[in-house]
Amino acid sequence: MNIQLLNQNISDASTDISLVYLSTESLKKSKNKKALKMAGFTASGDSICFLHDKNLLVCGVDEFSADDIRSTTSVAIKALKKTNYKSANILIDDKALIPALVEGFVLGGYTYDRYKSTKTKTSLKNVSLIYTKDDYKQAIKIFTDAVIIADATAFTRDIVNTIPEDLNPPTFADLAKKLAQENNLDCKILGEKELAKEKMNAMLAVGRASRHDSKLIHLTYKPKNPKKVVTLVGKGLTYDSGGLSLKPGTSMVTMKMDKAGGCAVLGMIKAISELKLNIEVHAFIGAVENMIGGDAYKPDDVLVSRSGKTIEVRNTDAEGRLVLADVLDYAQDSVKADYMFDFATLTGACMVALGQYTTGVMGHSSALKHEISKASSTSGELTASLPFNKHLKKQIKSEIADICNISNKPYGGAITAGLFLDAFVREENKKKWLHFDIAGSAYTESPWDCNVYGGTGAGVRFISKFLQGVI
């Protein structure tokens, strides 16, 4: 489906159907009020009504906010794709709503049918946003940026949705190389020999029982004279069986999504390079598969991480933090960054705390967390801060090693996982670092907002928005 922004009169737009957005108040003034009433349309949020004889699709919103427009547009595009209309348009009065419309059409209309023997076909080929005001140049910049970010989010969804047989650590590295070629990025891949030389023993232990070699991926986007340097770190567990602390069978389904942090980091550097932001970005991904076998790492093992800290393993299903411990340490040696963010589907406890829609944010800088909160609110993604405290830190104390990979109590699991990572963040970087737990927000089996079944691309939109604001 092609989406475009046109600067012309709506009467000149040669499309099959027009979209009109109405609230309960504006419905009262609509010239189609009688027909809509007969159809039972009340203009409540996420409601739609076709008036085929007038070539109209009327969309209900509770208010004309970006969140409501995005959500209703997602409903509308799904309905349009089931019709025989080939083109649609919408007249825009407020350019600030362009990103919400783009995300609604692109992300709400997203489909993933790679593994379907019969592909979904739709007649709809073109969607035109009509903007007639004088500041069209500003509007086209907003539109172009919105399309880049939406496409990068869809790209991230594609990777998350790819099954573990097709996307394993080596093929993840191949995908990164392909992106580097297409977007003029530098790419460095460390295989298991290089990882051993780097003494990344925690990461290597997690992948030891897999038939696929673990890989560390490092992509770099480096414009001339960048104003900021940003490190992005992603958990890339291409599949997580839980290891010897085996997950229940039902919990293993959807574990292809345990690579969502690494996928998001790829989507972020794709968006940033295409937006041509004047920011140097380093993306690090620990690509590993956590399996069972005679060579699997075990509860009661003590691992010596790259930093030299020793880790008591009490649960092999708390594996993502082991991978991130080594990758964070490597990243800090590789880059002196102004910001360091990590993204991981780290804990089910984050979903217990915040629900499935919200990303948990942890770190030491209240100011940085506040800036992220503003960016996420503007982008349409949901984030919430979870507080560190010294009492929870005691729960990951080990009697036989420097630190334990799980808490000794069943409470505050998202925070204790964040505190585990904090132990591998150097003092000079504490205020620059934030941890994002996307366990709930990265994947959904129940569509909501502009998210359809499967990967959501969580993180790409709000990090892109945040980085657009720092230059």
Backbone angles phi, psi at 309, to 5 degrees: -65, 140
Domain borders along the chain are: 2-133, 151-469
DSSP letters for 36-51: HHHTT----TT-EEEE
Structure tokens at 50: 């076709």
Q: What CATH number should be reported for the domain whose range is 151-469? A: 3.40.630.10
Q: Measured between alpha carbons, how far is 224 from 218 in angstroms, rounded to an integer?
A: 19
For the question of residue 430 being annotated catalytic, the response is no
The tens-digit pLDDT sequence of the chain (471 residues) is 999 999 987 777 788 999 999 999 999 999 999 999 999 999 999 999 999 999 999 999 999 999 999 999 999 999 999 999 999 999 999 999 999 999 999 999 999 999 999 998 999 999 999 999 999 999 999 999 999 999 999 999 999 999 999 999 999 999 999 999 999 999 999 999 999 999 999 999 999 999 999 999 999 999 999 999 999 999 999 999 999 999 999 999 999 999 999 999 999 999 999 999 999 999 999 999 999 999 999 999 999 999 999 999 999 999 999 999 999 999 999 999 999 999 999 999 999 999 999 999 999 999 999 999 999 999 999 999 999 999 999 999 999 999 999 999 999 999 999 999 999 999 999 999 999 999 999 999 999 999 999 999 999 999 999 999 987
Q: Which helix (H) or strand (E) holds 20?
A: strand 17-22
Helix (H, G, I), strand (E, B) or coil at 81: coil
For the question of residue 70 being annotated catalytic, the response is no
Q: Measured between alpha carbons, how far is 89 from 168 in angstroms, rounded to an integer?
A: 41
Catalytic position from the list 188, 222, 247, 431:
247
Backbone angles phi, psi at 438, to 5 degrees: -105, 25
- CA distances 267 to 153, 216, 425, Å, are 6, 17, 24
Query: Which single residue is written with the structure tokens 């159907």?
Result: 17
Number of Cα atoms under 13 Å in the Cβ half of residue 447:
15
Same topology, domains 2-133 and 151-469? Answer is no
Helix-, strand-, coil-residue percentages of the chain, each rounded to 5: 40, 20, 40
CB-based burial label for 81 (10 Å; 0-12, 13-18, 19+): middle
Q: 2-133: which CATH architecture?
A: 3-Layer(aba) Sandwich (3.40)
Catalytic position from the list 95, 235, 259, 321:
321
DSSP letters for 167-202: S-HHHHHHHHHHHHHHHT-EEEEE-HHHHHHTT-HH
